[in-house]
Chains A and B, each alone.
Chain A
């Protein structure tokens, strides 16, 4: 058990030191927080997997990630300018499909607030990738998409905001089942006003919006149970529904564009040429910044050959607004991910725009990764009833000198053994507790 504990936490220690080297301060967040904080921009899949519960009239949740808390801390802790924060700890999410039914996992990551542009995006991606390399994961694969670019490309179709959200959240369906399937889903979800719909006549034909609205208002006035909606809400939604279906032509065009985008999963070296052909002029600056951020990864000594562009990559959190990425190993295991989320801090109450980008990786996913040799040597000191004082003194001496010492009552070949006279035996040599320099040097070189 102890071994597992140490092994599991070692990668976290290594990553913490690694990120400290880039100037990222450790941020501690609470395990339990207001559910609404996580629900602000959670994707649908996440919402259904949150662990929520009520206490004293508050709806609380176990944290499923760190980003929302970090963003909230930035806004309400009166921070400004550039802030670099790192975090590590358990995150909680129900995962019924997981073989182990694990509901919590160790997550490590970082957030960079207040810095925009390709350099900031590159810094976060590089921080994640060089972190993996520090854990001896050199066969990483970086899959990158861009929600912002996709939104810009969808803008040309002038779709209803909810239709746009529907299309983005159905990208996986589009890739797996094709355009007709998604279109069918769209019709099912916001289907045309059917003949069975009450007041269908008011909604059909060439009737003008205002006339329809007035008719609907009259038609719905006799009910008493409104359940928090007003007659106007209902009438407006019916009209919006009709409006949405009138956009069906644009939806089909948008789906064809997204379909072409979905098929563009290519290495970074060639993808941007193909992407340029699909990108409307007004979205070119976004594409250019994206390309530049990936090019900067070369300056960090990272191999661009290991980067794949997947323009339709959509992550599970609704707050992403720009570049998004996922980290995989050569066996396609998902190790983590992140991206840019410039709007989230405004949703949290920030009065000015605050650019933000971050990543997180899961240590369980890195479970089989072998970290490099230990940075600090660890030794065992024999503890028995004849020498407990000397053994404890020796262990403390090692600890004060930056080494790890454990007391054990079983002797092994490399165990340090003390006696009452203050002699220390280790690896067939004898040292003195009163003059430990020779021993410490030998241990450090071990």
Chain B
């Protein structure tokens, strides 16, 4: 609900802002903020896979799972799978609500699918990070501490304002932020239309990050298993 509230508020309070020179050509701030709401919505629940794993480690259930004669990798991937399904449903709902309130996706239905897939990949990336932390610390509190990190990453990106209208060190941070690298091509698909280059960037960036974080989680799990 919070990302939707934020989108509704920003759409009605930034009506004059979209007229600023340098702001992308949009009919309404609603079109501009759609990718931000999508990313925000899926990201807030993305650490759940890590939190659940940490809870299982804390209460000893994970040790019982480890003792069972099964492969270790599905223990991680299974939880990520749950997060992926939730993120995909959230993504479809967010886009449907935005369309209902008048948002337009210039890239068409195919671009909407890219939006959802990019969001799902981002969830895997954040979920993998949460699982790695859960394995290293075994603490729900430590995994929950990633929430401010996710929150800050979104606000210190191009999610709510174009980076060309920012200035100073904040602009440099926003431009170097991987969230910006995901949001900018997704936004172009919404505002400008279909482009294979944008599709590539929108999918490859979160894919690379998710492969990296899930690999790190698997390595952490293997180390934990070999040390115990």
Tell me, yes or no, whether A binds B: no
Name A residues whose Cβ lies closer than 8 Å to a Cβ of B.
Answer: none
Name B residues whose Cβ lies closer than 8 Å to a Cβ of A.
Answer: none
